């Protein structure tokens, strides 16, 4: 009978399976090993990720006076590039885009316009992503802070009374236990079914040694799963060192920031700045 390490090595020694040729129909999502096992065992992905949006459709930068008035849409951050996903976390899920679209809307997002300061090398928040909408939305953080303010006033009114009823004592505890951050963080919207949407799972090659050494039992669960297809390499030539090469202008067009070494002499510095909204 094979030991765990022998089993893992046998799996890894197999020729890497080739990816689907038509990547345009695929979306990729990476997560840590522990989380991946939870998802595979439960069969669903829960929409924990949230992104800002404004009901008037205007995308505001982080220095705008109305920035904190944004609502929040929930869902999942996906990418069209498997190598990017492989560089992001340990286990990469492959999804059929057409299957996802049967139950969810997909919103391409480039967050460069929300950061007023100039782009920095490796600025992950400037990634252009495919955001899958769960359908759940939340009010602004200001909304929740206003709730806290009103609860504090109610709490003071009850405390100031000489005698309090049992119902009031219960209410005091409810107010004390309320945490607006916990409330705001709760996932909302539909869950995503793995069985009908996911077409494969991969292990990121850059994490293989670490996972084999310290988490062989958990890694074995991934390798024995019917959706397991092999491992993904993160090729340096396919992943730019400066992740934030994309910025978005106010006309909703995405333009590429050229590499400093290839920048033509006639290009003016102001062309690389993120325009004001």
Could you report the per-residue pLDDT of 151-210, keeping only the tens digit for each?
999 999 999 888 889 999 999 999 999 888 888 889 999 999 999 999 999 998 888 888
pLDDT at 92 over 60: yes
Query: Taking all residues of the chain, what is their mean pLDDT, rounded to a whole number?
Result: 76
Say which residues have a Cβ less than 8 Å from residue 82's Cβ, sequence separation at least 6. Answer: 19, 23, 26, 28, 92, 94, 202, 232
pLDDT at 23 over 80: no
At residue 155, the pLDDT reads 92
Find out whether 47 and 136 touch, Cβ atoms under 8 Å.
Answer: yes
Q: What is the CA radius of gyration of the chain?
A: 23
Say which residues have a Cβ less than 8 Å from residue 128's Cβ, sequence separation at least 6. Answer: 108, 109, 110, 246, 254
Q: SS3 letters for 57-99?
A: CCCCCCCCCCHHHCEEEEEEEEECCHHHHHHHCCEEEEEEHHH
What span, in angstroms and rounded, lies between the C-alpha atoms of 268 and 54? 32
For residue 110, name the pLDDT band (cuts at 50, 70, 90): low
**pTM score, two decimals?**
0.68
At residue 243, the pLDDT reads 29
| 23 or 86: which leads in pLDDT | 86
- Cβ atoms within 10 Å, residue 126: 23
Beta-sheet strands, E only, within 181-237: 192-193, 198-204, 228-232
What span, in angstroms and rounded, lies between the C-alpha atoms of 155 and 149? 10
Find out whether 188 and 47 touch, Cβ atoms under 8 Å.
Answer: yes
| 240 or 121: which leads in pLDDT | 121
Closest CA to 85 of 191, 194, 193, 200: 200
Give the distance, in angstroms, between the CA of residue 137 and the centroid of all CA atoms in the same chain: 15
Domain boundaries, the chain: 17-138+187-258+266-272
DSSP class per residue in 117-179: SPP-TT-GGG-EEEEEEEEEEE--HHHHHHHHHHHHHHHHHHHTSSS--HHHHHHHHHHHH--
pLDDT at 246 over 70: no
* Tokens linked to 64: 């705008």
Supply φ then ψ for residue 77, to 5 degrees.
Answer: -90, 120
């Amino acid at each position: 009978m094979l030991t765990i390490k022998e089993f893992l090595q046998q799996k890894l020694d197999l020729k890497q399976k080739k990816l689907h040729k038509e990547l345009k129909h695929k979306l990729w999502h990476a997560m840590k090993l522990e989380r991946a096992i939870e998802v595979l065992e439960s069969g669903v992905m829960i929409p924990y990720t949230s992104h800002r949006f404004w009901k008037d459709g205007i995308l505001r930068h982080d220095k705008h006076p109305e920035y904190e008035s944004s609502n929040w849409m929930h869902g999942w951050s996906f990418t069209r590039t498997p190598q990017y996903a492989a560089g992001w976390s340990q286990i990469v899920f492959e999804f059929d885009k057409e299957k996802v679209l049967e139950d969810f809307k997909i919103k391409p997002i480039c967050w460069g316009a929300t950061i007023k300061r100039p782009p920095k090398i490796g600025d992950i928040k400037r990634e252009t992503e495919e955001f899958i909408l769960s359908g759940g939305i939340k009010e602004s953080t200001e909304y929740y802070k206003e709730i806290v303010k009103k609860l504090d006033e109610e709490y003071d009114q009850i405390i100031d009374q000489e005698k309090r009823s049992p119902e009031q004592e219960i209410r005091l505890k409810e107010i004390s236990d309320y945490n607006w951050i916990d409330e705001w963080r709760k996932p909302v919207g539909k869950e995503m079914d793995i069985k009908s949407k996911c077409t494969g799972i991969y292990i990121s090659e850059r994490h293989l040694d670490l996972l084999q050494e310290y988490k062989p039992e958990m890694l074995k669960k991934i390798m024995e799963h019917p959706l397991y297809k092999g491992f993904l390499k993160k090729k340096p030539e396919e992943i730019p060192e400066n992740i934030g090469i994309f910025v978005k202008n106010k006309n909703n067009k995405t333009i590429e920031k050229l590499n400093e070494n290839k920048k033509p002499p006639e290009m003016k510095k102001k062309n690389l700045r993120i325009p004001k909204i």
